[in-house]
A and B are shown apart, each in its own frame.
Chain A
């Protein structure tokens, strides 16, 4: 299989690490070569963070470059727009509609662009936008946004539901498994 590229973007501390672990496990179980590149350290402190997940017969580079992502999964709207140039011309964005003001917006030095979903669509991108925070809260915790997004992403993957369930069971601590399974379902059905 030609290499598939998935980017997970968001704000440091939003839980992208679990999402990338889940995807890594899922894709390896399908027999692919997999590389996942994470961010640790200073950027995690509320900065813009990006995780790269790549799979295929043989994966070389651990990172995804401009114009290469088949999917961008975003926890936050501005971050989806920030990484838009990394999307392939026929790539798909799956984003939460949550907006978190970055510090330059908070201090008034910059403004948060309006109508980002419409603008990204106008630029030719396919955008699937949903209120993942509300769905995560419905599942039982605002922290489950990552798994809501994974549920939504599962729409676009030609993989049986059992494969996703198996990876959820492998990667999520038992204490939080039921909650995350609910979050996955809500994202999938939304």
Chain B
């Protein structure tokens, strides 16, 4: 049946059709919807794991037990899971094992722009790279075939424009491969030196076999057109090339990003006058061509940074560039902001007012760095806030300890904050860690996690008690505050920064966007009382603006959280009394 399908949903469909039985993932834009769509198929067991390493090892265990398994993550998640990946390359698989990884060129929702093809090369595992939803579905199925045929985990690489674009797919029925019996094989699966030494030659030999497969595999296809220009490309770049040049050029479209073919590329190069590689991010295909001694251009014209588009390809490679109209007025930017009623806002306001040094983490609360709050000093990667505050305080001593905090969300804390906290408990820095517990994984679109008490289906599940966990690690000072209560936040923060031992503050209130959260009536401003002092503007709430010198509340945005009200020196805010 023909359907319009999101790239990520198409991957999920491919997993379903391939008979995949177990999926374990950690959410991360732009990979999240693969697992959210897969859970709709009752034949597949799906779960959110605490982090990508756990997800990948869970999937590995499932494949070892004999059923096709999958895990999904964003590009930086693959760094977390790199440890099992690099050695799974040595053990190989029992039933098929596929790892979905989604890159984010242009950094729509990421902290860096790394190219995950490097991981495929370094781990010596094959990587398939679809260019639209139809290929996403087809390649997900092919990935399992390759995994079992070549005894290897297979990477399925998505990027934002493939993951988050809908295009037409043709669906088929689900296959039910028989469970492969688990057989004890110490030499294959126990990677101690003596065994790993014997497995390494297998890995090298497998790469040679995969390279031979790449020479004639249908996923690598030549589309001959004009011979003046020959373009080697892959993924979404292929679509831009076709958009600009139609069939006036010849194209070698690579569906297998690793390993790359040799003879196929040489033959293609021999048929065209000029050879260009069009690939987003790093020059991996280009360097491969250069290593083969071919004359090729690519990154001399095209950028390493950001996403490509048809106009960019046209401008750099000589096509028609379109232009449009403009007006003279400068258009103010509209960066993302914390939502109206966001529970993080009150806490960040207090951190800002106390002039704290704030070591931040990955999540919606990274937006605490945006003016006017500007209450963040560092954001690096998942979990780094807690480890870094420990180092910062060890180096900075008592002066640092008295005004430095780590802030980390509930999901990020479970992902990789716990180990940093163990370091503080063990090596005893006098650090203050604030867990922003909004009862959900927020930024990626509301996924459950081990602290919420619900699983991926919304059914009741195990629930980690954050206070109990911190106490068990040896923290005697564990405080809980409501971030809507500015006075309480201020008092607790001052006390814990002053305390002569490490402490954890849990700032607890559910995300304002959660459906079950009941909101108060929107507030309004009494223009007679308002003196236009702008005190309420210090919290950066998108619902409050200044109109004709007075504060104004947008009733369609306001959820009545009352944080602004606590800052008003003349009590100009009042409830409209009608619930939003």
Chain B associates with chain A:
yes
CB contact list, A41-93 vs B, under 8 A: 41-48, 59-63, 65-69, 78-79, 81-82, 84-89
Chain B residues near A81 (CB-CB < 8 A): 327, 329, 331
Q: Which of B242, B329, B336, B537 contacts A47 (CB 8 A)?
A: B336
B161 in contact (CB, < 8 A): yes
Complex contact B544–A39 (CB within 8 A): no
Complex contact A41–B166 (CB within 8 A): no
CA distance A104 to B443 in the complex (A): 22
B149 in contact (CB, < 8 A): no
CB contact list, B544-580 vs A, under 8 A: 544-546, 554, 556
Chain A residues near B331 (CB-CB < 8 A): 78, 81-82, 113
Complex contact A40–B164 (CB within 8 A): yes
Known A37-B161, A62-B165, A62-B239: A103·B334 in contact at CB below 8 Å: yes
Chain A residues near B328 (CB-CB < 8 A): 119
Report B134 CB to chain A, min CB distance, Å: 11
A-B pairs under 8 A by CB, number:
198
Q: Which residue of B lies closest to A76 (CB)?
A: B334
Complex contact B335–A107 (CB within 8 A): no
Complex contact A84–B108 (CB within 8 A): no
Chain B residues near A59 (CB-CB < 8 A): 167
Complex contact A48–B334 (CB within 8 A): yes
Number of residues of chain B lying within 8 A (CB) of chain A: 60
B444 in contact (CB, < 8 A): yes
The secondary-structure label for the interface of chain B is: loop
Q: Which of B2, B161, B444, B545 contacts A62 (CB 8 A)?
A: B161
B458 in contact (CB, < 8 A): no
CA distance A41 to B441 in the complex (A): 12
CA distance A119 to B162 in the complex (A): 36
Complex contact B322–A60 (CB within 8 A): no
Known A34-B4, A40-B30, A103-B370: A47·B337 in contact at CB below 8 Å: yes
B540 in contact (CB, < 8 A): yes
Q: Which of A41, A69, A105, A125 contacts B332 (CB 8 A)?
A: A105
Complex contact B326–A84 (CB within 8 A): yes
Complex contact A106–B544 (CB within 8 A): yes
CB contact list, B295-349 vs A, under 8 A: 309-311, 322-339
B533 in contact (CB, < 8 A): no
Chain A residues near B322 (CB-CB < 8 A): 65-68, 88
Number of residues of chain A lying within 8 A (CB) of chain B: 65
Report B361 CB to chain A, min CB distance, Å: 14
Q: Which of B33, B326, B444, B540 contacts A85 (CB 8 A)?
A: B326
Chain A residues near B108 (CB-CB < 8 A): 39, 41-43
Complex contact B556–A43 (CB within 8 A): no
Complex contact A119–B329 (CB within 8 A): yes
Known A39-B108, A39-B164: A84·B335 in contact at CB below 8 Å: no
User: Per-position contact with A for B366-394: 1 when CB-CB < 8 Å, else 0?
Assistant: 01001110000000000000000000000
CA distance A123 to B339 in the complex (A): 34
Known A67-B322, A102-B334, A113-B331: A25·B542 in contact at CB below 8 Å: no
Complex contact B310–A61 (CB within 8 A): yes
Report A107 CB to chain B, min CB distance, Å: 5
B407 in contact (CB, < 8 A): no
Q: A61-B243, A89-B324, A108-B537 are in contact. List 14 more A-B contacts (CB 8 A).
A: A40-B30, A40-B109, A41-B109, A43-B109, A45-B336, A65-B309, A66-B324, A78-B331, A79-B334, A81-B329, A100-B554, A106-B544, A113-B330, A120-B327
Of all A-B residue pairs in the complex, the 3 with the closest CB atoms, nearest first, are A41-B109, A67-B322, A41-B29
List 19 A-B pairs, Cβ < 8 Å.
A28-B168, A35-B167, A36-B167, A38-B164, A41-B443, A45-B338, A45-B443, A60-B242, A61-B242, A62-B165, A67-B311, A78-B332, A85-B323, A88-B322, A89-B325, A104-B332, A104-B335, A116-B327, A123-B325
